[in-house]
Amino acid sequence: MVHDIRPFALGLPKAELHLHLEGTLEPEMMLRLARRNGIDLPYQNVDQALAAYEFSDLQSFLDLYYAGCAALVTEDDFYDLTWAYLMRAAQENICHVEPFFDPQTHTERGVRFGTVVTGILRALEDGEERFGITSRLILALLRDRPADSALHTLEHAHRYGRHIAGVGLDSAELGHPPEKFAEVFETARMMGYRVVAHAGEEGPPSYITGALDILGAERIDHGIRCLEDPVLVKRLARDRVPLTVCPLSNVRLRVVRSLAAHPLKQMMDAGLTVTINSDDPAYFGGYLTDNYVAAAEALHLGPHELARLAEASFDASFLDADAKDQHVYAVQQYAKRHGIPLS
């Protein structure tokens, strides 16, 4: 029997599919890297940085997020950032990650694409060797920048071939519908990338439909506003389109009123393929296990439901069928050891 949900959630084998590496930049590391690189930040100490962490919406968060990114300059900075996340992932039994990185945020400041991606890839390789954590890296394009800039970024990425598995779309959603990136994503698909897109976080359900039909997204990041369109919900359920939901992020960015009012359970009940993720954990008050636990407590999810969510996290990943089966089996064995039959 499971008496305490936190140790159960912590040990549960999990995959994380919606995680921005830049969003794992803790204030301590932000200040340390800024000092190392001689960069002036608007904060002198951790308390001042933390004071800026009260967000009113997505844009107010993005302003802080981009300010913090200024501290990231060298290949070692990107290595350290990624490595810190992987060490935490190992402690939380996260066995597979598909992290995003935002190259435009860095190339616009004069940091080379190769510096960013080489540092990240080196850490991901070390993470697999040291902790056995597998990964598929996803290049995220900023939707509030011109489509031309996205195309240019894709050209850079081409040099890294199979080391970058997918292309996504993130940043400020409202006013930047998927249509703007139709050509970019057609190019990405032709280049052989898997495709995901943020949609239906602050944007309307039509952005989710657009992400599927116009961008060819295989997976929707957030997608919680799909519930406003019953026809779309039926389609997402029928086609088993995974939705990478981020409960603590949605509360911090005031996309939902409170965790108790979060639609996660409703989405599960509607037969949607839902996974739990942390989005930008350094900014939103919790990493992956925190999101599992907070959702469980607020929405009265039991260990059985958490194990189902963990299974879905592997099923919705870009791993091959054999690897997915192995991970799902591990989840089932873990649940069984805790007295929770899954089948």
By beta-carbon proximity to Zn ion, the closer residue of 75 and 279 is 279
Q: Is 110 exposed, middle or buried (0-12, 13-18, 19+ CB in 10 A)?
A: exposed
DSSP for 238-249, written as a single string:
HTT-EEEE-HHH
Segment lying near Zn ion (by CB under 5 A), choices 51-59, 121-129, 145-153, 273-281: 273-281
In this structure, which amino acid lies at residue 279? D
> What is the nearest approach in angstroms of Zn ion to the Cβ of residue 45?
28
Segment lying near Zn ion (by CB under 5 A), choices 74-82, 159-167, 276-284, 289-297: 276-284
Enumerate residues 6+ apart whose C-beta is below 8 A from 200: 207, 208, 220, 222, 223, 224, 225, 226
Among residues 16, 26, 201, 202, the one annotated as catalytic is 201
> What is the nearest approach in angstroms of Zn ion to the Cβ of residue 246?
7
173 binds Zn ion (CB under 5 A): no
CA distances from 305 to 22, 124, 260, 264, 296 (A): 30, 30, 16, 11, 9
Binding mask 224-263 for Zn ion (x = CB under 5 A): ----------------------------------------
By beta-carbon proximity to Zn ion, the closer residue of 154 and 199 is 199
By beta-carbon proximity to Zn ion, the closer residue of 13 and 99 is 99
Per the annotation, the verdict on 201 as an active-site residue is yes
Binding mask 319-338 for Zn ion (x = CB under 5 A): --------------------
CA distances from 123 to 100, 115, 139, 160 (A): 14, 13, 16, 15
By beta-carbon proximity to Zn ion, the closer residue of 62 and 335 is 62
The DSSP output letter for 139 is E
> What is the nearest approach in angstroms of Zn ion to the Cβ of residue 118?
23
By beta-carbon proximity to Zn ion, the closer residue of 26 and 279 is 279
The DSSP output letter for 93 is T
The number of residues that bind Zn ion (CB under 5 A) is: 1
- Residue 93: Cβ within 10 Å count: 19
> What is the nearest approach in angstroms of Zn ion to the Cβ of residue 215?
16
By beta-carbon proximity to Zn ion, the closer residue of 22 and 75 is 22
Residues comprising the chain, all counted: 343
The number of CA neighbours under 13 Å toward the Cβ of 22 is 26
Segment lying near Zn ion (by CB under 5 A), choices 79-87, 156-164, 272-280, 283-291: 272-280
> What is the nearest approach in angstroms of Zn ion to the Cβ of residue 6?
24
The residue with its CB nearest to Zn ion is 279
* Region of 131 on the Ramachandran plot (φ > 0 left; ψ -120 to 50 alpha; else beta): alpha
* Region of 204 on the Ramachandran plot (φ > 0 left; ψ -120 to 50 alpha; else beta): beta
Binding mask 192-221 for Zn ion (x = CB under 5 A): ------------------------------
Which of 279, 305, 311, 315: binder of Zn ion (CB under 5 A)? 279
Strand order, beta sheet including 137-142: 100-101, 137-142, 164-170, 194-199, 219-222, 242-245, 273-276
Question: Which residues contribute to the site for Zn ion (CB under 5 A)?
Answer: 279
Active site residue ranges:
201
